């Protein structure tokens, strides 16, 4: 069978080393100057890198250029060969029940937040009225306004405390429904690590102030100033360095490690509280 001139020429170049190198160089130039698109050039470069007739230097150059082009165009999403019907699977009954209750609780919490804002507005308006009465009213009007303001303030305080308790309970229930069993421990520990130290420092500051006033006979203003100075001296380093480290450790720890640490923390807290109570009782 007669062989064409092109096939004979290409076969001769493949059989000789110098001819093979020039043929690979032409393929590299063709891949770089291809006008059909970057994807075609990337495929051509990868074929050159896998060709046995290419030299190691040509293969390395082709790989480098292919990687550069691939990084330039990025990896597109793979198209699924199988075409589905497009209908989403049905939502589980438990998940649907949880979603409905969470939406209802969030609506109630929004209404509670709006009510709290209105209570705050009422308190600000009444405070402004009280200041005007004290500034321009008579003595009898001042006494009546003072009694009324005191009673109204106590009523507003009771309503605010009730709203805070209800909102806290509903928020906890909504959070419980949003999360599953294995997702609750870490957020709960992070929440406790963020808020419990404030309550602990507040209780410790009150006890320290009472101790300084009763046992050491310090003046009230000096005991109060010392208590708050010590509180801020402890809280600032806590929030600056200790709390971020604790949060990072809690988020990275495993479930088993967290459970063991929670049990250990509860045991230490009970022992420390018992020791403090015993010391205060004997003192």
**Residues 207-266 pLDDT 10s:** 888 888 888 888 888 888 898 898 888 888 888 898 899 888 888 888 888 888 788 888
Q: What is the pTM of this model?
A: 0.54
| pLDDT for 14 | 44
| pLDDT for 75 | 52
Residue that is written with structure tokens 């076969």 in the block: 11
Residue that is written with structure tokens 């793979």 in the block: 78
**Residues 24-52 pLDDT 10s:** 556 555 555 544 456 567 777 777 777 77
3-state secondary structure of 84: coil
- Do residues 121 and 115 touch, judged by C-beta distance below 8 A? no
pLDDT at 17 over 50: no
| pLDDT for 4 | 42
pLDDT at 109 over 50: yes
3-state secondary structure of 87: coil
């Amino acid at each position: 069978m007669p062989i064409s001139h092109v096939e004979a020429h290409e076969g001769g170049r493949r059989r000789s080393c110098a001819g093979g190198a020039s043929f690979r160089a032409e393929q590299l130039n063709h891949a770089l100057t291809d006008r059909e698109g970057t994807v075609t050039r990337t495929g051509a470069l990868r074929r050159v890198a896998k060709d046995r007739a290419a030299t190691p230097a040509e293969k390395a150059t082709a790989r480098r250029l292919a990687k550069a082009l691939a990084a330039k165009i990025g990896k597109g999403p793979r198209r699924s060969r199988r075409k589905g019907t497009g209908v989403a699977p049905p939502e589980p009954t438990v998940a649907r029940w949880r979603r409905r209750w969470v939406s209802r609780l969030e609506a109630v919490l929004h209404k509670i937040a709006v009510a709290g804002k209105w209570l705050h507005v009422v308190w600000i308006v009444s405070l402004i009225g009280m200041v005007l009465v004290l500034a321009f009213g008579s003595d009898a009007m001042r006494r009546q306004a003072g009694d009324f303001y005191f009673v109204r303030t106590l009523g507003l305080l009771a309503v605010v405390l009730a709203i805070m308790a209800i909102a806290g309970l509903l928020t906890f229930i909504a959070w419980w429904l949003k999360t599953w069993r294995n997702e609750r421990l870490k957020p709960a520990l992070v929440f406790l690590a963020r808020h419990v130290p404030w309550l602990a420092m507040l209780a410790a500051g009150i006890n320290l102030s009472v101790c300084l006033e009763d046992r050491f006979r310090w003046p009230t203003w000096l005991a109060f100033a010392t208590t708050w100075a010590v509180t801020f001296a402890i809280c600032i380093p806590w929030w600056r360095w200790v709390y971020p480290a604790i949060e990072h450790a809690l988020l990275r720890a495993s479930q088993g490690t967290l459970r063991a640490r929670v049990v250990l923390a509860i045991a230490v807290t009970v022992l420390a509280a018992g020791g403090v109570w015993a010391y205060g009782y004997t003192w």
